[in-house]
Structures are given as structure tokens and as C-alpha cells.
Amino acid sequence: MKLHENTAVVLSQLLAKKEVSAIEVTQSFLNRIGDLDPLLKAFVTLTPEFALKTAAEVDQKRINGKRLHPLAGVPIAIKDNICTEGIKTTCASRILSNYHPPFDATVVSSLKAIGMPLLGKTNMDEFAMGSSTENSAFFTSRNPWDPERVPGGSSGGSAVAVAAGMAPLALGSDTGGSVRQPASFCGLIGLRPTYGRVSRYGLIAFASSLDQIGPLALTAEDAALLLGAIAGYDRLDSTSLPEDVPDYSKELGAGIKGIRIGLIGENVDQQFDPEVNAAVKRKLTMLEQHGAVTGEVSLPLTDYGLGAYYLIAPSEASSNLGRYDGVRYGYKAESRHLEEMFSNTRGEGFGAEVKRRIMIGTYALSAGYYDAYYLKAMQVRTMIRRNYEKAFQSFDLILGAATPTPAFKIGEKSDDPLQMYLSDVCNINDALAGIPSISVPAGLHSSGLPMGMQISAPPSGEKLLLAAAHFLDGQKRGVPQRPQLEIGEGGSK
Ligand code: GLN
């Protein structure tokens, strides 16, 4: 087995036993990137020197007998909306195409303190607005299962990196599905933590009441380790949860005996691919056979979530993106006077989808429309949260499809925003409710593409989510499903 084929937990064990060095591990992923990234385009920026320097430091510490975190020397890829000091952080936007943050996001400081080599920054939809990476100002990333298809988004580059073995772990961000939807399209585990569980300090804001950073991984064990590394209270984020971080890796084997699991009735919709529905049902039956108590749960406002989200998220975006004016950050357009500078900078710096969201959001917040749109959407959001609270009185976990279909073709939905928005219809409601939610592989579609299932828990229920996901991993004997990628000369397939 090649080093880059291992999960993070296996790499961590090999490193601890000194069977491999962090330099060897890091170099093997850098080689894999060299082979595959020209085809799959997961990375906006590569940081090989930085990664190897971190790896060398970890190796030295290990030689000196220092106590190290299990993830020390395990490399990682980071979505390009998470600030890295001195390393370009573009949000896949022209407006930030040359932005070098003067500080690290809190999650990056945590990973640096552990000694995780940073391989590079991954491609995404511009400002995390999208579901396919086609809204990146630079290029579209490709799904390793079928390079003619999208990897999902907005954290598509991070998902590609892990699925193709170019990184054992990656960080994404999830505002309304951007970790879970690409995880589903690429056959991975993707976890959206409880709102406030992971610091947003240094995550470039899209919709602040929804944004959360989360791990993309091959197994639940790997995701648990990474979540433990990034979770925790942070005084630099006023919405951070002042709660202790449990050891997510500790009771992973707790199993699902006696756990009450509800299948979302409304999700089994005729618009969903029947194979996806069947896969989810099969998993539910399997969970039942192993002792889970299953039933159907109703979330009656499911259909309203998408509409509410596409008012709330753009409203917050229109306010958050006001700072990109050519004065304080990044790109500045040629102009003759001040007003022209604002309009040219924003006109040239933002792509079409970002402009659409700014316009929708500004409209929804404007005097006279605020009550009809923004306020109404916020009321729907509260009702959706109450729906979940009620459902969690009868169930410990709620289960449904992670995406209505497997990955779609590049270009298939890029001219139709509504169809694109509908691709994360399964992921929006948990985000609005602020609850944790995990996307896990649910088997392969007859097209050969991975399908995903989503499991949600009450606030701070990550341990239970990870235990359920770990149980499902165990049913595959812990071997993650991987795409078949044949590498030819120069990285072509
Ligand atoms: N696809 C959704 C959107 O475009 C979600 C994005 C996200 O979670 N960042 O807004």
C-alpha cells in the first residue's frame, strides 16, 4: 500500500511507531498532488516548502522524545476562505486574488500548534456561494470518480483532495451544505459541527449566522480526530460555544444499540434519484438489524428551508461583502473618482453569482421589504428549529439522503441558479437550525458514482453522529470506498 492511500489514523500510527517520517508522508502526498492535480485541479495554491518545513520540525521533535498530538506530521489541505498568515487566501475571487492575510484563522493556529503540514489551499465557489466549484473565478475542480462531473461545492477542492489521495484530511466550510454536499459527491465523510463549536475567527465571512468550519475525511475516526483538533471556545469569535470539547475519538465504538433513528418522511421525494432513496432505506434497515430503534419522522417545514436560506444567506452576504470596496482589501479597479472606484472595483472583482446574492440580499434588507422578506425568513428559520426540537423528543438521530442525486455533469446546472440551489436541499435545514450534521457514504450508484446519506443530531451531538458514522464504516470493514484513478505520464488519466 502506498503511503498516500492510508487514512489519517493509520498514518498517525505509522508515525508514532517511527515506521515512517513526517517528511516521507508529506512528500508522498506532494508527489500524488504532482501526478493528479493537473487533471483534477483541487488546489488554488500549493505550499510544499511550508509543508516540508513543518514535517521536518515534527520529525525532530519526535526524535527528541517530545509528546506529540496524534495528528502531528499528518498533512492537511485547507479551503481557500480560511486565513493563513502570509499565504495567499483568495476565496476563489478576483477581488481577493492577491490577498495575503496578516494573521492565521484560529483553526489554522490550532493545526500549526499540532504540527500538521499544510499542503495547500483548495479551490471553492467564489465566497463559498455555490454547489459545484464552477463559481470559482479561477477554474472548476473535477470529481475524481468522473472528471467530467463536478465534485460538489462550495468546498469542492477540499473534497477532491481527500477523495483522490492528495491529502489525508481537509477543512471545508459549511454555510448551507458546503462540506456535506461535496463529501456526498466524492464518497467521503463530511461533518458540519454545531454552530459555534468551531471558531469562525479568520474564516472569511459569507453568512455569519450560518458559517461553520468542518472536516472532510475518509473515515469517521479521521473526522473525529480532526474535529477534536479544531473545536473549542475562542474568545475571538463572539458566537463561539463556551463548552468543553469531549474526546470525540474515545467512544467511537459505542455502537447504535438502542439509539432511536428517524427517517425524514418529507425527504423521500419523487424528485430524488430512486437509487439514492433505496440506498438510504438499506442503511436504515441495517442499522435496525444491529439494534437501532427506527421509525419515520416528519419535518413539515422542510420545503420552506431553501426559500428562507436564500433570503437569509444573501442578506448577510450583502452586508459582509460591503467591505470589498477597493480601499481596504485586495483588488482596486482603474477609476477617475471615488464612486467609480467603488462600482468598478465591485463590478470587475465579483463574479455573477456573488453579484446576484448581493442584489437579492440588499433588496431583502431594504426599507419596505425587510418585514416581507428578511423578517419572514427569520420567522421560518425559528419554526424550522422548533420542528427539529420536536423531532428530537422522539429520536436521537435523524436520517435522510445527503444529496438528491449523485454528482452532476460540469455545465449541467451552471446556467440555472435554481437547479443549482436545489442540489443542497437536503443540507439547508440543519444549517438553519444550527445543529450538527454528517454526510456519510451510502454505497455506489449504478453509474459508478458515490451516493451519500446524512445524519443529524441535537446541538453538541457530534459524538453520537461520529459513533453512528463509525458503525457504518465498520460495516465496510473500515475500508473507505475510493475512486479508481489510473495515473499516466504527466498526470493524465
Ligand atoms: N450551496 C449553498 C449556497 O450556495 C451553500 C454554500 C455553503 O454552504 N457555503 O449558498
pLDDT at site 490: 44
pLDDT at site 475: 82
pLDDT at site 209: 98
128 Cβ below 6 A of ligand 1 = yes
387 Cβ below 6 A of ligand 1 = no
- Give 465's strand partners: none
pLDDT at site 149: 98
**Structural domain range at position 467:** 3-254+437-447+456-486
Distance from Cα 328 to the centre of ligand 1, integer Å? 26
**Cβ(228)–Cβ(194) under 8 Å?**
no
Distance from Cα 183 to the centre of ligand 1, integer Å? 14
CA dist., res. 415 & res. 397, Å (int): 36
CA dist., res. 435 & res. 212, Å (int): 11
269-324 per-position pLDDT tens digit: 567 999 999 999 999 999 999 999 999 999 988 889 999 999 999 999 999 999 99
Distance from Cα 336 to the centre of ligand 1, integer Å? 36
131 Cβ below 6 A of ligand 1 = yes
Distance from Cα 124 to the centre of ligand 1, integer Å? 10
User: CA–CA distance from 221 to each of 40, 51, 485 (Å)?
Assistant: 26, 23, 24
- Catalytic, 476? Answer no
181-209 per-position pLDDT tens digit: 999 999 999 999 999 999 999 999 999 99
Ligand 1 atom with the shortest distance to the CA of 175:
8
CA dist., res. 493 & res. 490, Å (int): 9
Ligand 1 atom with the shortest distance to the CA of 313:
10
Look at strands 169-174 and 118-122 and give their pairing.
unpaired
| CA pseudo-torsion sign 192, 430, 321, 328 | negative
**Cβ(186)–Cβ(160) under 8 Å?**
yes
From 424, 429, 439, the mutation candidate for ligand 1 (largest count of ligand atoms within 8 A of CB) is 424
Candidates 132, 141, 178, 315; catalytic one: 178
177 Cβ below 6 A of ligand 1 = yes
Question: Which residue bears the cell 422578506?
Answer: 373
DSSP state of 194: P
- Catalytic, 93? Answer no
Q: How many CB atoms lie within 10 A of CB 102?
A: 8
405 Cβ below 6 A of ligand 1 = no
Report how far apart the first and last C-alpha atoms of the chain are (Å, whole number). 20
CA dist., res. 211 & res. 156, Å (int): 16
Distance from Cα 236 to the centre of ligand 1, integer Å? 24
At 279 the three-state DSSP class reads helix
124 Cβ below 6 A of ligand 1 = no
Whole-number average pLDDT of the chain: 95
From 80, 81, 122, 125, the mutation candidate for ligand 1 (largest count of ligand atoms within 8 A of CB) is 125
CA angle, 368 then 371 then 374, to 5°: 110
Judge whether 327 lies within some domain: no
2-46 per-position pLDDT tens digit: 999 999 999 999 999 999 999 999 999 999 999 999 999 999 999
Ligand 1 atom with the shortest distance to the CA of 177:
8
Ligand 1 atom with the shortest distance to the CA of 179:
8
- Catalytic, 178? Answer yes
Judge whether 302 lies within some domain: no
CB burial of residue 379 (10 Å; 0-12, 13-18, 19+): exposed
Judge whether 88 lies within some domain: yes
Candidates 21, 28, 79, 413; catalytic one: 79
From 133, 135, 154, the mutation candidate for ligand 1 (largest count of ligand atoms within 8 A of CB) is 154
- The count of structural domains within the chain is 1
CA dist., res. 310 & res. 327, Å (int): 29
Judge whether 80 lies within some domain: yes
480 Cβ below 6 A of ligand 1 = no
**Cβ(6)–Cβ(218) under 8 Å?**
no
Segments of the chain with pLDDT less than 50:
489-493
Rounded (10°) CA dihedral 21, 26, 27, 30: 170
175 Cβ below 6 A of ligand 1 = yes
Q: Where does 89-142 have alpha helices with state H?
A: 106-114
- Give 365's strand partners: none
Distance from Cα 156 to the centre of ligand 1, integer Å? 11
Distance from Cα 367 to the centre of ligand 1, integer Å? 26
Distance from Cα 255 to the centre of ligand 1, integer Å? 32
Ligand 1 atom with the shortest distance to the CA of 207:
9
Judge whether 167 lies within some domain: yes
Which cell goes with 121?
A: 489551499
130 Cβ below 6 A of ligand 1 = yes
From 91, 124, 131, the mutation candidate for ligand 1 (largest count of ligand atoms within 8 A of CB) is 131
User: CA–CA distance from 136 to each of 74, 91, 131, 343, 452 (Å)?
Assistant: 28, 8, 11, 21, 24
Candidates 154, 158, 184, 240; catalytic one: 154
Helix, strand and coil content of the chain, in percent to the nearest 5, comes to 45, 15, 45
CATH of the domain at 159: 3.90.1300.10
358 Cβ below 6 A of ligand 1 = no
174 Cβ below 6 A of ligand 1 = yes
